[in-house]
Structure 1
Amino acid sequence: MTEKPKTQLLGRSVEAPASPEEAVLDCVPNPQPGIDYCVRFTCPEFTCLCPVTGQPDFAHLVIDYLPAQLLVESKALKLYLGSYRNHGGFHEGTTVEIARRIVEAAGCKWLRIGGYWYPRGGIPIDVFYQTGPAPEGLWLPDQGVAPYRGRG
């Protein structure tokens, strides 16, 4: 019989974390650790706050990663991303912070994130980060988010 993963969140009723620092990013064992494959998380309704004005900022995040021994548990990721709702952060810092936290928690072999931020002040900001070159032979689909065109 397979042992159940020991997580703090999965299968439990939990309160939403008040901040990214308080959020737990649980991981579970990778059932295919000897195979390279891409895992994608898409968060089309990510929100945080502008650290200067307190106004809401919205983004469509696409996170692709190559797991090693662990997988990011999706409930934990959802709660972690939701913890940014009342958190102030610039687009660039927030996008990279999310990526680095996932790499730290899961020990990914490789990760990339696309942060497609909706315009504020008429300027959309897209932020891209990856831990290094994509591993050779790993199939990576396009992130599928069209560049912002406004009414054009």
Structure 2
Amino acid sequence: MSHQQESIGISAYEGRQDHIPSLKLPEIESFANVYEGKDYTIDFTIPEFTAVCPKTGLPDFGVIEISYIPKAKCIELKSLKEYILAYRNLGIFHENVVNHILEDLIQSVDPKYIKVKGDYNLRGGIKTIVTREYTSK
């Protein structure tokens, strides 16, 4: 990247994560919610989440928290585990992880409400927490 590009704010990573929204990872399976129509919350904590920093190539570690109110379907845990493991060698920014997980979960189970939070380990003296919520209409 040229000094001129840097001086006008163009990142060397511009466009390098554009494929993330369409990235296909293992399918998140579901099962029927036999208590459909009852509002209750399901919380998952994934304490050993790992992906790769696309800038340094080093591993990023964090905790992913998922909280949702199901409608007709619930998330099946074994498939969620396989889905999360697919991030292990993937070069992806923290913000993109949270957004991609949330959108894949919406696609899979169409929840009434869902929140995904990525709470990442300290890196270079900076703590990053990314949260996104969705409420169905």
Contact kept? 2:112, 2:135, Cα under 8 Å: no
Which one of the candidate residues 104, 109, 112 is aligned to 1:106?
A: 109
Structure 1 gaps, min length 5: 1-19, 134-152
Between the aligned partners of 1:21 and 1:58, the Cα distance in structure 2 is 22
Amino acid corresponding to residue 129 of structure 2 in structure 1: D
Identity of aligned residues (%): 35
Which one of the candidate residues 11, 28, 37 is aligned to 1:25?
A: 28
Q: Give the alignment of 1:64-103 within 5 angstroms.
A: 64-103=67-106
What TM-score results when the alignment is normalised by the length of structure 2?
0.79
Amino acid corresponding to residue 43 of structure 2 in structure 1: R
> Which protein has the bigger strand share?
2
Amino acid corresponding to residue 39 of structure 1 in structure 2: I
Q: Give the length in aligned residue pairs.
A: 114
2:133 match: 130
Find runs of 4+ consecutive structure 1 residues off by over 2 angstroms.
none
* Shift in Å, 1:131: 0.8
What TM-score results when the alignment is normalised by the length of structure 1?
0.72
1:92-111 CA-partner distances (Å, limit 9, x unpaired): 11111111110111011110
> Which protein has the bigger helix share?
2
Secondary structure class of the residue paired with 2:36: coil
